[in-house]
Chain A
Amino acid sequence: MKLSVLQKQEIRRYLEEVTIVKSNCDELFDHIITDLEHNASSDKLDIEEVKKCIDVEFDDLINTEQERRDFRRINTLVGFALFFFALIVYWLSMEPTVSFWDCGEFIAAAFKMEVGHQPGAPIFLILGKMFSLFAFGETSNIAYWVNFSAACSSAATILFLFWTITALVAKAYRNEKIKSKTKSIIIAGVIGALAYTFSDTFWFSAVEAEVYALSSLFTAITFWAILKWEDAINDRWLIFIAFMIGLSTGVHLLSLLTIPAITLVYYYRKSNGITALGTVKALLVGCAIVAVVQFGMIQYFVLGAFKLDLLFVNVFGFSFGLGALFYIVLFSFLLFFGIQYSIRKHNYKLNLGLICTAFLLLGFSSYTIILLRANAKPTINLSNPDNIYSLYNYLGRTNYQSTPLLYGHTFDAESIDNEVTGNLYRKGERDYEIAGNKYKTSYDKNLLFPRTYSQKPQHIDFYKEWMGLGDGETPTFSDNLGFFASWQVGVMYWRYFLWNFSGRQNDIQGYGDIKNGNWITGIKPLDAIRLGSQTDLPPSIIANEGHNVFYGLPFLLGIGGIFWLFRRNKQIGITIATLFFFTGIAIILYLNQDPLQVRERDYAYAGSFYAFAIFIGFGFLLVKDFLQKNSTKRIGLVAATVICFFGVPFLMGTQGWNDHDRSDKTTALEWARNYLNSCAENAILFTNADNDTYPLWYAQEVEGIRTDVRVICLQFLQDDSFIDQLKAKVNSSEALPISLLHEQYQAGVRDFFPYVDYGITDSVELSDLLAVMTSENRNDQVQMSDGSYMNFLPARKLKLSINADRLIDTNTIRPEQKSDVVPAMEWSFNKPYASKADLIMFDILANNNWERPVYFATSVSEDTYMGLDEYLYLEGYAYRLLPLKNEGKEIDKTQRTNTEVMYSNVMNKLDFSAFNRAKYMDVESRRVVNSTWHLNNTLANNLITEGKTKEAKQVMGKSMKQLPLRNYSIVDTLNKLNTVRNLYALNEIEEANMVTDATLDFLTEELQYIASLATKPQLAYRDEVQIGLYVLTEFERITAGYRQKELNEKTGGILNRLPQIL
């Protein structure tokens, strides 16, 4: 019989669908048609019958519809099972309330849709807001639900990781029958996805309210989407990717770094002849797209809108925003007509490109939320991006210093020229006003690829020590490269990478020494090469929850995966390697971080650990192939599964659990509450960002705790919009007494005041100083080299006259303290110049007239106290400014208490019970415990001195009950000295002995370990040895003084043994 064209087409289509190796299609088609033409007897051809026949006869050559459906079903099911598994893991270990660092700011900003720090994260805010609704108005549950959004995003990331791995493995096996490979594909996916579930860095941000979880999800979806596109070449996926990338800019720019890997997948799929040169070209195109999105869209597109607005407002006299609106409308029309044109001309590529651009911009449009919310003037409104110009600066992170990348100065370079490169603007009453100049500084010593540029004194010292440079030596190009390789890449990337896949020494921040935060293998002889002897490790390492030992197994499995891929399918290998590079080392190249960061930065590189987890999935195949060669297929598969599962995800999960379990941790919330409760009613509290600000914002904004206190973060006090906020009522805190008008401190006005020595010997009254600093009279100003006039700081010795009765009226002091009041507070302001922030602080001090109590955080840097140190008194976590005499005693402010008030605060207002409730005390919580011990010991000591033994006993009693005593490091034992001293002094002998004994045991183990080290590693512990020996000697003295014979002999014994070996 003869087949019709239609029938043939249908058979052909079916074959193309099912044939595993596409090149076999022709041959099979020929076979079937020939067979049918020869044999089919009936005139009517049943196509379904033919299809069934194909399924049976060509079994080995095709994946039948049913087989593929089965695979898809199990792939979907296992994916969702993993999603729920990961969700449960993260939900169980999730922090139930606010965490340290930026989380407090993010939760508050999400809950009230406020404007957080640059460059903002509108999509995160929307998602956080949605989740916060599940709290149903119970404000203490808001943080829980925003944290849960991160847990969900992270679990979804695991889901997409699984699908990504299975898609890639299936691709590597594309010439084989899917049915025969289903198990291998699924298990590879499970191993890789679970390894990432339990990886240190990813787990950390999965259980707190940070943007990194959601950012990871966007990375995962984007990369998965290009594999979907590849599978069916359906260009709608490209549009989807463009939209995802657009949206991801509203979370974190990290997700853009998937683009080079995406272009590579595109190139490999579309190109006919794949070459090395083509691969490089595809990568360059990928980089170009990243640049276009990051700079073109996020910055220049917005800058363009500002330029047009500038024209409309300043030249045509329209109102603000009209030009920007016109710009957006114009752009939308251009896109619209462009798309219409492409349809008319049947230009597919132009059409696709324009539609992608439209969706990219649609995603990016989430930033209009920032603009809208800044205009609503919420409590948190950092940099106030309420117009197109400030939005441009907000997006461009202009508050952060820019770092040189290709060519720039060295740390010891001197600036030789400041070239004006453009104008700075501010939004005035009617038009944009020029607020100053943008400068480009040139230097005398420069290098290509500068990596050692920071000129901060502590950084300079670090550079010199790390590179072994003497004073006056300039880094050469090779010193510079060495620093890049050993510090920036070695310590600040590979160390983090290996924490995740090899093991981690402890959770204490590492600064490149052998003592803390190193990566380890857990194989002692190997670790000993880098870190000194690993036998009999001391409690500071072995008992530390962050001490995680994976024996390098996840790392080896990943390397195995790379090996397998580069033998079997180089293209997949190169694609994943590209993802790995751009989400890891490329960030290191771009950030060009200065040393001594305030915290560990591993979270920024989670994307590259994601890529490595894909390699781990492939590693399973290597193990499986090897075992199957040496046994049967079945046994090999089972054995490989068991080995990989227990050797990698199981090991990672069990080792990592105790340092990721934050389920009972409420220390950040309690810290914030205690901080605010340390302050009297209506206090003004000066803080210095991060951990002493964000948790406090959270407590006030979300839970409504002590909203009468005005928290002023000094880092933002330079910003005129922040000062505007201080002049308005916020929550229950009235406007601050600031006399300056907006024009007097607006952007570009009085940004800083040079100190000009006028030879004034007497102290200058603060109000007089303010008058001079705000004077518009040229006689009160100095002329600068460019001819302009500016205000200056004429004196450094300052004073504020005090009316003692006023202090009593305002309850600043008790009447009996009147005799201690100084007639005037006198101090010297020793900074090289005064900033706008200083001016505002002067203004507040001069005009507050003791109406509101003024406090300074205890943890801010020394120069923020402005030289007022001798008038600062501890009343809890904060110093109170009190114009009291110090009776000529030279006491450091950290030992000076407003004893009666602080006693009442500690006993009645502060609650330290959260520390003992937390299963895991992270580094920040431990820092708080140490400072709390310090404060309480100081208070008890001062109470004893003042003869208030009963009160001192109560303070020590509460501390012993609520504050953990565990020593995490030798430094922690310093606090124990004062604890023990107080306890003995209060005749609490039993407790004193208990603390002494425990600390002795700890120190013995630590010092014995140090003593067992070879000379060189031992030198790294110089400080620890000194502290340890000091504490021991003091213990010996104290126990002798209090006649504790047994402990005294024990201490003596330890001391006798130690010096010989140290």
Chain B
Amino acid sequence: MNSTKYKGLLKGSLQIIILKLLQNNDRMYGYEITQVVKEITNGEILLTEGALYPALHKLEKEGLLTASVELVDNRARKYYALSEKGRAKVKVKLNETKSFMGNLALLLNLNPKMA
């Protein structure tokens, strides 16, 4: 599988993927996120670092994420976690995404079960 497979499609959904993962995990660092995504999708979806980090920084700047730095193995590791604002936002975003995907399935005449 090559990671460019979903490039265009991924772009819009990167935010919600990050938010959702952080809803399930207290805190994560960048590399960890790429690994989890890879694992869940059986390697079908590979996040490029070049896209992940700008998305993380944007969410942090918007105040949806909080970051903390810890020394691990003698190097600084930056962990991300949902903020209060982020926690509220995930729910809204998930609902939005769900209804959007339903409509997308209808529009593209896909099997509704797939959604």
Contacts and interface: CB of A to CB of B under 8 A. Distances in A.
Do the two chains bind? yes
Interface of A: 24, 26-31, 33-35, 57-61
Given A26-B76, A29-B75, A30-B77, A57 B53 contact: no
A61 B75 CA distance: 20
Nearest to B30: A31
B100 interface: no
Contact of A59 (B50, B73, B75): B50
15 contacts: A24-B57, A26-B76, A26-B78, A27-B30, A27-B78, A30-B29, A33-B73, A34-B31, A57-B50, A58-B49, A58-B50, A60-B50, A60-B51, A60-B53, A61-B50
B69 interface: yes
A26 B70 CA distance: 11
A60 B54 contact: yes
A26 B31 contact: no
Contact of B78 (A30, A35, A58, A61): A30
Contacts of B51: 60
Interface in B43-88: 48-51, 53-54, 57, 69, 72-73, 75-78
Contacts of B29: 30-31
B48 A30 contact: no
Given A26-B69, A27-B30, A33 B75 contact: yes
A503 to B, nearest CB: 45
Contacts of B31: 30-31, 34-35
B53 A28 contact: yes
A3 to B, nearest CB: 10
Contacts of A61: 49-50, 53-54
Contacts of A29: 75-76
Contacts of A34: 31
Contacts of B48: 57
Contacts of A31: 29-31, 49
Given A29-B76, A30-B75, 7 more contacts: A26-B76, A26-B78, A30-B76, A33-B73, A34-B31, A57-B50, A59-B50
A1016 to B, nearest CB: 59
Contacts of B73: 33
Give the dominant DSSP class at A's interface.
helix
A24 B51 CA distance: 14
A27 B79 CA distance: 9
Contact of B53 (A27, A33, A35): A27
Nearest to B29: A30
A208 to B, nearest CB: 54
Among B54, B75, B76, max chain A CB count under 10 A is at B75
Contacts of B75: 26, 29-30, 33
B34 to A, nearest CB: 8
Interface in B13-35: 29-31
Nearest to A62: B50
Contacts of B50: 57-61
- Interface bracket on B: 10 to 19
Nearest to B3: A57
A142 B75 CA distance: 68
A564 B57 CA distance: 24
Among B49, B54, B57, B69, max chain A CB count under 10 A is at B49
Nearest to B35: A38
Shortest 8 CB-CB contacts between residues of A and residues of B: A26-B76, A60-B50, A59-B50, A34-B31, A27-B78, A31-B31, A57-B49, A30-B77
Nearest to B69: A26
Contacts of A24: 53, 57
B62 to A, nearest CB: 16
Nearest to B48: A57
Nearest to B52: A31
Contacts of A60: 50-51, 53-54
Contacts of B30: 27, 30-31
A525 to B, nearest CB: 47
Among A26, A30, A59, max chain B CB count under 10 A is at A30
A28 B53 CA distance: 9
A98 B72 CA distance: 74
Contacts of A57: 48-50
B82 to A, nearest CB: 18
Contacts of B57: 24
A1060 to B, nearest CB: 74
B55 to A, nearest CB: 10
A26 B76 CA distance: 6
A27 B56 CA distance: 11
Nearest to A12: B75
A50 to B, nearest CB: 13
Contacts of B72: 30
B111 to A, nearest CB: 35
A29 B74 CA distance: 12
Contacts of A33: 73, 75
Nearest to A60: B50
Among B30, B48, B53, B76, max chain A CB count under 10 A is at B53
A24 B76 CA distance: 11
B50 to A, nearest CB: 4
Contacts of B49: 28, 31, 57-58, 61
A59 B76 CA distance: 22
Contacts of B54: 60-61
Nearest to A21: B57
A35 B31 CA distance: 7
A61 B29 CA distance: 17
B27 to A, nearest CB: 14
A8 to B, nearest CB: 8
A228 B86 CA distance: 43
Nearest to A31: B31
A366 to B, nearest CB: 52
Nearest to B78: A27
Nearest to B77: A30
A26 B53 CA distance: 12
B100 to A, nearest CB: 26
A1 to B, nearest CB: 14
A35 B77 CA distance: 13
A348 to B, nearest CB: 29
Nearest to B49: A57
Contacts of A26: 69, 75-76, 78
B73 to A, nearest CB: 8
A28 B31 CA distance: 9
A944 B20 CA distance: 108
Contacts of B69: 26
Contacts of B77: 27, 30
Contacts of B76: 26-27, 29-30
Nearest to B73: A33
A23 to B, nearest CB: 10
A264 to B, nearest CB: 29
Among A24, A28, A34, max chain B CB count under 10 A is at A34
A57 B31 CA distance: 12
Contacts of A28: 49, 53
Contacts of A35: 31
Nearest to A54: B49
A30 B29 CA distance: 9
Among A31, A35, A59, max chain B CB count under 10 A is at A31
Nearest to B57: A24
A1026 B1 CA distance: 94
B93 to A, nearest CB: 23
A29 B77 CA distance: 9
A655 B75 CA distance: 62
A31 B57 CA distance: 15
A33 B75 CA distance: 9
A59 B49 CA distance: 9
Contacts of A58: 49-50, 53
A372 to B, nearest CB: 62
A175 to B, nearest CB: 10
A604 B76 CA distance: 55
Among A24, A29, A58, A59, max chain B CB count under 10 A is at A58
A387 B113 CA distance: 101
A202 to B, nearest CB: 43
